[in-house]
């Protein structure tokens, strides 16, 4: 398999316990080149890394996101786990982009996501630049196409940026949803995209016009907070109701740099974790969430691993909420 690295157990460490109380003791390791060695059950969690900086580099961001997946693993493994014994958690390794060939890495990611979904696993992808979204979405789309039917995919993006820049000069971390929208138009399928936390100081007038022309649903950052929770949830619930499945992507640069200094495009004007957790509850409890990723962690600029810990905390919450939801 091109552009692929096997999982590395040394990144999963933490306190030792004879009762297996911590996530690093729960996680198992699978090689995507020889999946027969492990049996993945329905709803099992599978982590997959996307070690890619190429899209960020092309978008003139701060490079270093390629180190994000392992930084998240190192913080996630230390956390206690309260999961049901029947749920398995796997690390399936990492899709790499070491040669600047973004298309090749994205193709590999798409195929791997499709494979995992075909095994009824729940993939959680660890980025990497936000170009992860284009490949991740296509993995979901190709899986659904292979199952037959005509399900509508709703994209929910927690982000300061629309990432609707034209790919006329090539794809990058700012183009994924434009690329998806263009392909939906060609295929005659619905482009259902919601972006939460949009900042006017992070998007040009042209990008707002593009969002309006593409019928993008968005909540600006000044209204994406606990103060407006009731209003926000009505908008989000309406969006969820109108789609069949949901792909969720969390761009860490949407958070205030008070919480997430280690990203490619930091700003103190971003949102807080509490509103994100409340929205994630609604998304997960809808039973429509099919796959999720966390993007744009840049350990080179992180302070005391704060952003990596935020990413790990979000994933810890998501995994446990999924487990709880599956037990109902």
Q: Is 130 annotated as a binding residue?
A: yes
253 carries a ligand binding annotation: yes
Task: Judge whether 251 is annotated as a binding position.
Answer: yes
Phi/psi for 198 (5° steps) reads -60, 135
The rounded distance, in Å, linking the Cα atoms of 101 and 96 is 10
Residue 49 Cα distances to 8, 93, 220, 273, angstroms: 11, 6, 30, 22
Structure tokens at 202: 């992070």
Nearest Cα neighbor of 293 from 264, 255, 260, 250 is 250
| Residue 316 labeled ligand binder | no
Phi–psi pair at 219, nearest 5 degrees: -120, 120
- 151 vs 168: CA distance, rounded Å: 29
Q: Is 44 annotated as a binding residue?
A: no
Sign of the alpha-carbon torsion through 132, 137, 142, 143: positive
Establish whether 159 is an annotated binding residue.
Answer: yes
Q: Which residues are annotated binding-site positions for Mn(2+)?
A: 130, 159, 161, 163, 251, 253
Known binding positions: 130, 159, 161, 163, 251, 253
């Amino acid at each position: 398999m091109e552009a692929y690295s096997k999982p590395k157990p040394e990144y999963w460490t933490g306190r030792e316990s004879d009762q297996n109380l911590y996530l690093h003791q729960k996680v198992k390791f699978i090689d995507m080149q020889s999946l027969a060695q492990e049996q993945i059950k329905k709803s099992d969690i599978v982590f997959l890394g996307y070690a890619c900086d190429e899209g960020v580099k092309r978008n003139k961001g701060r490079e270093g996101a390629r180190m994000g997946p392992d930084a998240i693993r190192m913080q996630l493994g230390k956390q206690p786990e309260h999961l049901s014994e029947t749920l398995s958690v796997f690390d399936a390794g990492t899709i790499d982009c070491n040669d600047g060939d973004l298309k090749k890495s994205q193709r590999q990611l798409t195929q791997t996501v499709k494979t995992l979904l075909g095994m009824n696993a729940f993939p959680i992808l660890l980025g990497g630049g936000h170009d992860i979204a284009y490949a991740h979405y296509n993995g979901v789309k190709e899986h659904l196409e292979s199952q037959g039917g005509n399900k509508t995919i709703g994209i929910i993006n927690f982000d300061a940026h629309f990432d609707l820049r034209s790919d006329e000069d090539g794809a990058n971390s700012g183009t994924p949803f434009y690329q998806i929208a263009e392909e939906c138009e060609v295929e005659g399928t619905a482009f259902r995209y919601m972006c939460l936390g949009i900042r006017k100081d992070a998007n040009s007038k042209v990008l707002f016009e593009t969002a309006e022309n593409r019928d993008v649903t968005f909540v600006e950052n000044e209204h994406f907070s606990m103060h407006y929770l009731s209003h926000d949830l009505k908008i989000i619930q309406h969006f969820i109701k109108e789609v069949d499945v949901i792909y969720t992507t969390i761009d860490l640069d949407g958070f205030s740099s008070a919480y997430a200094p280690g990203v490619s495009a930091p700003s103190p004007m971003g949102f807080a974790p509490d509103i994100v957790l409340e929205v994630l509850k609604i998304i997960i409890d809808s039973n429509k969430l099919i796959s999720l990723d966390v993007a744009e962690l840049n350990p080179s600029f992180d302070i005391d691993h704060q952003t990596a810990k935020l990413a790990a905390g979000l994933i810890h919450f998501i995994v446990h909420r999924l487990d709880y939801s599956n037990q109902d």
